Amino acid sequence: MQKVIFLVDMNAFFISCETTRHPEIIGKPAAVAGDPKDRRGIILTANYRARKFGIKTTMILSEALKLCPDLIVIPPDKDFYKKKSGQVMDILSSYTPVIEQNSIDEAWLDMTGCGRIFGNPLKSAELISHHIRSKLGLGCSIGISENKFLSKMASEMKKPLGITELWRKDIESKLWPLRIQSMYGIGKQTSQKLQDMGIKTIGNLALFNRDYLIKRFGKIGGRLHELANGIDDPSLKPRLQENVKSIGKSITVPHDISNIEEARIILMQLSDKVAMTSRKYGKRGHTVQISIKYSNFKSITRQKTVFPTCLSRDIYSAGIDLLEKSWNTHLPIRLLGISISGFTENYRIKQISMFEKSKSDKEQKIENVMDTLRQKYGSSIINRAALIKKRKN
């Protein structure tokens, strides 16, 4: 199965975040800068209106004001941007459990095998873009390819709000004509050295003698040659901050749910994803919570304490127990979610029998094998019998 990797890049992130709470700056040149009172501060992010005046990131504020005296300058609010970034990552996590956050405003997603759920890569990207924009009021560009480097390069090709596919078969026509200084991973000094060698485009680099590049730049020379030819490791390295409070998944269903059996299937799918993510990060939680949004848009959350776990069966068992006890069956469900939290080493450990421990260890080994197969061949390669039976019906 061909790998499908997305790079989701938030457009003009800091100033876009400010726009959500300062709608009066929409349509006006605006930027987030170090300290508006200090004209020696630098531009951190400028909106696209301001960029038309030539204002760029890292530009000295005094220079930016010369180019655009009417520029609206807003001081940075790092905590607010971190909060918005977390909200973006939460949305992305609802599409795949395999995410590598590259910075506060961009992340790679392994969408391999997700086509059966969200549609082909282009449709999936459109769905993600619309979801972020409608829920958070933020725009993004998405690059689609089979590895991290090509998806990153693709994400830069259409901004703002662009979606671009760049597969290895396309590199000669789409990637090679680009200037060498636009290549991801090449800094100003390396770019200048390459240009001095007559390497002006990515295509020039791709066709250059690899051995000479290694002799000139060391291992990095060979690495750059591979990237220019579209060769990169597609595997993602998910990161999870130590202070993470919960891992959860939710879905707004295509049609309102009134049947408990249908809700069970969805909850099982969500529990499987939550458990897989928990195991990936080596986390065991002791609080399971479900979220329900009814068709009348009223929401409820319910939670219960469980023995620390990262297993699908445990999370699902707690979730379905909460659902059966809490669901007002007179109200159809519009959104259903489940999460696990309470990741603490100090949680009181109760005694369990050798039989229970053995059963738990066996279950985790099985789920670890499932994780490995999914990561290698896509999330849809292996599924639980109940889910397969549902699809056949």
Closest listed residue to residue 231, CA positions, set 205, 212, 211: 205
User: How far apart (Å, rounded) are the C-alpha atoms in residues 244 and 221?
Assistant: 38
Q: What's the DSSP call for residue 313?
A: H
User: How far apart (Å, rounded) are the C-alpha atoms in residues 41 and 371?
Assistant: 48
Identify any residues that bridge with 248 across adjacent strands, giving them in sequence order: 339
Annotated catalytic residue within 18, 106, 156, 165: 106
Token pair belonging to 243: 């202070």
Contacts 24+ apart (CB under 8 A), 140-144: 140/8, 140/9, 140/10, 140/11, 140/88, 141/8, 141/9, 141/11, 142/6, 142/7, 142/8, 142/9, 143/6, 143/7, 143/9, 144/4, 144/5, 144/6
Place of tokens 């409820």: 300
User: How far apart (Å, rounded) are the C-alpha atoms in residues 224 and 216?
Assistant: 12
Token pair belonging to 356: 């229970």
User: How far apart (Å, rounded) are the C-alpha atoms in residues 309 and 315?
Assistant: 8
The answer to whether 106 is a known catalytic residue is yes
Residues contacting residue 3 through CB under 8 Å, at least 6 positions apart: 110, 112, 146, 147, 234
Residue 124 · residue 135 · CB < 8 Å: no
Q: Which residues are catalytic?
A: 106
